[in-house]
Structure 1
Amino acid sequence: MNKRPTDMQDDPRTLVSTDWLAAHLRDPDLRILDASWYLPNANRNASAEYENAHIPGARFFDIDDISDHRSDLPHMVPPVEKFMSRLRAMGVGDGHQVVVYDGAGLNSAARVWWLFRLMGQNNVAVLDGGLPKWQSEGHPVEDLPPVVRDRHMTVRVQNSLVRDVTQVSQASKLGDHSIIDARSAGRFRGEAPEPREGLRGGHIPGARNVPFDSLLNDNGTMKTPEECRAIFEAAGVDLGKPAITTCGSGVTAAILSLALERMGKADHSLYDGSWAEWGAFPTLPIATGDA
């Protein structure tokens, strides 16, 4: 079975179905965010697509803009003040239930879910199957800008949810964490080219490979927690250790984090710099092949 009953699947802290969102679409404290983001080689313009058609009332969350522009790395975690001011300007704050979706099905929305959790906001969920599933079922879309009213947001950063290169390097050496890489098998092995120039091929020594799309069904929905657990275990992930998720630039790693959270595994963190950072530094060790 690839889908559990709706009443078992919906969790406003992790993942909700299109049926759930349709039923709650007019709730006064619901805030919907379109967090679509694409690699340059996808030839898609996320903001233009949002302006053309989005779920009614949705605001556009620009992952590249709401980031730390002081860093040379792509879309790193923004300063707290920037996150708060951007979200306040979008009318998102304390007391809101947030639902995040993207135009790929289930991709970049998980990054924004993780970012909210990092900022201490727990009432946030990803829309299972995203905009493609929403539209395929005949639910409404619009091209109107939302009516925005400021709402204060209280941020309490949960530092345990993020890891930097020094922490990941130590975890790799000590082997006391399960490092899980969400990139494709070819990139993980160092056989396929990286989409960003100047990066070496391979992976962090000791990491295991769970390509993010292996956790998804054909319609872009996430597999059940039981199925995800089996996939992690088949990849050699020791779920008894704290987990660190990683990928190309910290976006699809959050899909692994979302799956782990749904499985009931709370001790997970995300390597924000991911391969965009690790692969760029010749002094950091790399491994190739399957392990």
Structure 2
Amino acid sequence: MRRFPMRPAAVLTIWLAALTVSVQAGAAQANPGILVSGDWLVEHGDDPDVVVLHVGMGRMAPLEEYVRGARFLEYHDIAVERNDLITELAPVEDLVEVFRAAGVSNDSHVVVVGDPGLHAARVFMTLDYLGHGDRTSVLDGGLAAWKAAGGEVTAEPATPVLGDFEADVREDMIVTAEWIHDRLDDPDVTLIDARPEDEYTGERPGRDFLRGGHIPGAYNLYWQDLTGEDIPTLIDLAEVEARFEEAGAKKDGVVVSYCLIGMRASYTYMISRYLGYDTKFYDASWNDWGRREDLPLVTGRERR
């Protein structure tokens, strides 16, 4: 059979493609990214650098099952009431102590499990704020995904060994009402409202003392519309990307997530980061904006 010599450009193209696949495969092994599957955690949960945190509201409803080997993290230790606002970030020094007590160090790869996924997303957002986001993942689908992958559960969490975590706080990640107000007409800033439609439109303000409506220009993307039903994993990625593009998100712009108290927006924040956007978080959310008469709002389904 006659063989034709390959052109140098073709050889280079094939070599680059192979190199890209190799690099991507290596990167996937070294850093699985923001979302990991149940299968991944079953395989890597016992890795020496992996710290699995099972988060829940234990003071209100103690968990009955834990991912095997997971340490328990109390949700209310990281999300506290501050300045008459609920579910705010605890002071940095308190957060550092919480994560150290859970066994987290700076070289730890943290994997967070939470049911619902909001709790885990809030932990991701918090660790991202503390500068550990690149070494934090969330189990996509929570405990249901772990069980579906054949993972074992236990009635008690594992006992942690004290970690030596140090924060590298990302102050610019958290934005205020004033920051948003100054950028309401900035086409490079996309606001994502993670509340259900009736809260977004103002039909149901969420709390009796709040005005009803949404921030002018905000796009309504209810967080739960991004997850499946039986096992709450992220829906088809192309559909997720389309929703963010419909919102006006740009890869060279900024995406800001908010909701009522900063819990549901943790999920859209996490997914925005997962998609590669420059993402910020309005922690005070509508609980702040909705009570302030000096700030504009829009009612109904129109964005503006």
Q: Normalising to structure 1: TM-score of the pair?
A: 0.85
**Contact 1:208–1:237, Cα closer than 8 Å, also in 2:** no
Q: Which residue of 2 aligns with 1:198?
A: 209
Q: Structure 1 29/9 Cα, relative in aligned 2: closer, same or farther at 3 Å? A: closer
* Distance in 2 (alpha carbons) for counterparts of 1:175 and 1:241: 8
Q: What are the ranges of 5 or more consecutive residues in structure 1 without an aligned counterpart?
A: 1-6, 38-44
Judge which range, 232-241 or 135-144, deviates more: 232-241
C-alpha distance after superposition, 1:91-145 (max 9, x if no partner):
11221111112112x3221111111011011210010000122234442111224
* Distance in 1 (alpha carbons) for counterparts of 2:203 and 2:61: 34
Judge which range, 22-31 or 239-248, deviates more: 239-248
Q: Which residue of 1 aligns with 2:242?
A: 230
Q: Structure 1 107/156 Cα, relative in aligned 2: closer, same or farther at 3 Å? A: same
**Contact 1:12–1:97, Cα closer than 8 Å, also in 2:** no
* Distance in 2 (alpha carbons) for counterparts of 1:124 and 1:47: 26
Q: Which residue of 2 aligns with 1:33?
A: 53
1:113 equivalent in alignment to 2:133: no
* Distance in 1 (alpha carbons) for counterparts of 2:183 and 2:130: 24
C-alpha distance after superposition, 1:220-268 (max 9, x if no partner):
1113443211112234555553111111111221222222222222x11
2:224 partner amino acid: D
2:143 pairs with one of 119, 126, 131: 131
Q: Structure 1 224/123 Cα, relative in aligned 2: closer, same or farther at 3 Å? A: farther
* Distance in 2 (alpha carbons) for counterparts of 1:226 and 1:30: 30
Number of paired residues?
274
**Contact 2:209–2:291, Cα closer than 8 Å, also in 1:** yes
C-alpha distance after superposition, 1:50-93 (max 9, x if no partner):
2x211122222223222454432112112111111111122112
1:158 Cα shift?
1.2
* Distance in 2 (alpha carbons) for counterparts of 1:97 and 1:151: 12
1:84 pairs with one of 75, 92, 96: 96
Judge which range, 220-229 or 93-102, deviates more: 220-229
* Distance in 2 (alpha carbons) for counterparts of 1:56 and 1:190: 43
2:232 pairs with one of 220, 243, 260: 220
1:75 partner amino acid: T
The aligned runs of 1:111-260 (5 Å cut-off) are: 111-121=122-132, 122-172=134-184, 174=186, 176-194=188-206, 196-218=207-229, 219-237=231-249, 240-260=252-272
**Contact 1:111–1:251, Cα closer than 8 Å, also in 2:** yes
Q: Which has the larger radius of gyration?
A: 2
Q: Which residue of 2 aligns with 1:273?
A: 284
* Distance in 1 (alpha carbons) for counterparts of 2:69 and 2:61: 16
Q: Residue 126 of structure 1 aligns to a residue in which SS? A: strand
* Distance in 2 (alpha carbons) for counterparts of 1:230 and 1:46: 39
Q: Residue 40 of structure 2 aligns to a residue in which SS? A: helix
Judge which range, 67-76 or 159-168, deviates more: 67-76
1:12 Cα shift?
3.2
Q: Residue 147 of structure 1 aligns to a residue in which SS? A: coil
* Distance in 2 (alpha carbons) for counterparts of 1:261 and 1:66: 20
Give the alignment's Cα RMSD to 1 decimal: 2.3
* Distance in 2 (alpha carbons) for counterparts of 1:70 and 1:176: 30
Q: What are the ranges of 5 or more consecutive residues in structure 2 without an aligned counterpart?
A: 1-24
* Distance in 2 (alpha carbons) for counterparts of 1:221 and 1:131: 11
* Distance in 1 (alpha carbons) for counterparts of 2:275 and 2:77: 31
Q: Normalising to structure 2: TM-score of the pair?
A: 0.82
1:17 Cα shift?
0.2
**Contact 2:39–2:149, Cα closer than 8 Å, also in 1:** no
Tell me the percent identity: 33
Pick the structure with more strand per residue: 2
1:193 Cα shift?
4.4
Q: Which residue of 2 aligns with 1:4?
A: none
Q: Which residue of 2 aligns with 1:100?
A: 112
